[in-house]
Structure 1
Amino acid sequence: MRRSILMLSLVAITLTSCGSKKKIAALEAKNKEIQDLLNTATVKLNQCLTEKDAVANQLDFLKKNNSDLINTVGNITTLSSKGAENLEKSLESLKEKDLKITRLQDALTRKDSVTLALVTSIKRAVGVNDPDIDVSVEKGVVYISIADKLLFKSGSYNVTDRAKEILGKVAKIVQDKPDFECMVEGHTDNVPIKNTVLIDNWDLSVKRATSIVRILQNDFNIDPKRLVASGRSEYIPVDSNTTPEGRAKNRRTRILVLPKIDQFYDMIEKEMKNQQGK
């Protein structure tokens, strides 16, 4: 009897033990499933938190950028207003300067017209076809270049009768133009000269210039205030001094008929003042 009871107890314990193992196994499987779900949820949570931070940073950037844009638009509006005002002032200044330039150009044109008329008169008076007389214009100045053989004897500064005839024609034109000055330049070749009267080519060129100036003053009544005598010696040749022909060209006297510089600048200054007063 006791043996039977013992056997039944063993069977019961065995059956009970098997049922518990099954439950434990099922619980462990369920726990693993829950843990997997928890891990998945944790990963997604972390991703959401990261995305949230990124969105928050982007939102802060957009807010700041929007604020900067608003400030920039305000600055641009202010600058545009000032720029338009400055541009308008610049245009007005340019108009004034353009008007001044136009008036100065007109003054120069009038001066050039007078110069051109003077050249035509001189060419007609002195005989433009004479190869020993050249009339030209450079930068508003009329140059009358006369070969020395028409004015002086070789090595001399005494003016010939033929020279007085030519100088009389030039003097007539200078007399008709009271606003012009007359400068006489003496030029020589490079052949040295020295005698009891002349020291060198400097001396010769200056004495020739002063001889002509005296004739213009004494014989033709040109105001001496309008006359200038200068000697250039051998240092501004127009041809080579290695040939007789070249040296002959270099021995010359140039008479410059030019507007009085002070009057010309006075004319420009007057135009400038007229513009400033407007």
Structure 2
Amino acid sequence: MVKRINIPMMLLSLIFVSACGVSKKTYLALETQYKDLGTLYQKGQVDLAESRARVKSLEDQLEQERKNNQNLREALAKLQGTLDNSISQNSQGNANISKLVDEINASNKYIQHLVNTKAKSDSLNVVLTNNLTRSLSREELKDVDVKVLKGVVYISLSDNMLYKSGSYEISEKAGETLSKIAKIIQDYKDYDVLIEGNTDSDPISKPNIRNNWDLSTLRASSVVQALQNTYAVDPKRLTAGGRGEYNPITNNSSPDGKARNRRTQIIITPKLDQFMELIDQAPESDTTEANAVGL
């Protein structure tokens, strides 16, 4: 908890004490204490602002996931409405209706399973993001952006922290940050990891690099190999890809915009085979019999 310090009152007290004829030693001690308290106050203000920013980011993520869950619930309600209308509007073809009811019930269970699976995935994503953010220092957070978009965790790393200037070789400065990210990846073994390189629009002028496609792909490959060789991440979980200058997050008209576009993203997603298993579980529909009962 940051205590508020009344700087004007402290200054007034110092002036009063000085006027009363205190010794120079006492005055200097009080002056030093005043400066220390001022520094502590400023640091407390910075820490408070950072904490509020993190809370706001997590609240935004939570609100987005609530909206996504609401959409799934609405789809479930719509499907249930179709079942109710089918039963009320059809008085014949009991056998067909019975089968249709079974299919709709199966669809309801499937949708509910999707809702539960997504809720579990969302919870894991929030925990993963929180764990990673807490492990990074204040200085590292200046070069690392962590967010969750549509159920996928994106870790964006600035190129000035990650690579040597104009190169695809990873700098010594990036080692500690990558080790923390690698630990998170190791803790969540049911997730695949895509490393995606991005550049600005300035053409590269290196004899061994043809263009920005090459540069972005080589940088992604460097991160993949560091995760595998230095931090023992299973290479079967890793994919390296480059998008060159064609996936900007802002325009390249200013140095700041170019710096933001020069980034490498570590994208953490549930494994593809888990999605395929969910698709295989989807109930088959019989459109012929559905037409037979007037739907």
Tell me which interval the TM-score lies in, with the shorter structure as reference length.
0.5 to 0.7
Counterpart of 1:110, as a letter, is: K
1:251 paired to 2:289:
no
* Unmatched 5+ stretches in structure 1: 1-78, 274-278
Q: CA RMSD in A?
A: 2.4
Report how far residue 82 of structure 1 moved: 1.6
1:147 paired to 2:158:
yes
1:134 paired to 2:137:
no
CA contact (8 A) 2:110 2:281 kept: no
Counterpart of 1:93, as a letter, is: E
Q: Report the structure, 1 or 2, having the larger helix content.
A: 1
Report how far residue 108 of structure 1 moved: 1.8
Counterpart of 2:119, as a letter, is: T
In structure 2, the CA distance between the partners of 1:85 and 1:225, relative to structure 1 (3 Å rule), is: closer
Q: Of residues 270, 274, 294 in structure 2, which corresponds to 1:263? A: 274
TM-score by length of 1: 0.64
Report how far residue 157 of structure 1 moved: 0.9
CA contact (8 A) 2:106 2:283 kept: no
Q: After TM superposition, which residue ranges in structure 1, 4 or more long, deviate above 4 angstroms? A: 83-89, 270-273
1:209 maps to: 220
The size of the alignment, in residue pairs, is 195
Residue 268 of structure 2 aligns to a residue whose secondary structure is: strand
- In the aligned structure 1, how far is the partner of 2:130 from the partner of 2:253? 34
In structure 2, the CA distance between the partners of 1:203 and 1:89, relative to structure 1 (3 Å rule), is: closer
CA contact (8 A) 2:199 2:216 kept: yes
Residue 194 of structure 2 aligns to a residue whose secondary structure is: strand
Q: After the TM superposition, which residues 94-105 of structure 1 pair with which residues of structure 2 at under 5 Å, given as runs? A: 94-105=104-115
Q: After the TM superposition, which residues 1-80 of structure 1 pair with which residues of structure 2 at under 5 Å, given as runs? A: none
Cα deviation code 1:101-132 (max 9, x no counterpart): 11221122212222222122222223477232
Q: Of residues 156, 160, 168 in structure 2, which corresponds to 1:157? A: 168
Q: After the TM superposition, which residues 107-118 of structure 1 pair with which residues of structure 2 at under 5 Å, given as runs? A: 107-118=117-128
In structure 2, the CA distance between the partners of 1:128 and 1:105, relative to structure 1 (3 Å rule), is: farther
- In the aligned structure 1, how far is the partner of 2:95 from the partner of 2:272? 41
* Unmatched 5+ stretches in structure 2: 1-88, 285-295
Q: Compare CA radii of gyration and give the structure with the larger one.
A: 1
Report how far residue 236 of structure 1 moved: 0.6
Residue 82 of structure 1 aligns to a residue whose secondary structure is: coil
- In the aligned structure 2, how far is the partner of 1:81 from the partner of 1:147? 65
Report how far residue 239 of structure 1 moved: 1.1
- 148-157 vs 238-247, greater mean Cα deviation: 148-157
Report how far residue 194 of structure 1 moved: 2.2
2:241 maps to: 230
CA contact (8 A) 1:125 1:169 kept: yes
Report how far residue 196 of structure 1 moved: 1.8
Counterpart of 1:182, as a letter, is: V
Q: Of residues 181, 195, 206 in structure 2, which corresponds to 1:170? A: 181
Identity among equivalent positions (%) equals 42
Residue 243 of structure 2 aligns to a residue whose secondary structure is: strand
CA contact (8 A) 2:103 2:283 kept: no
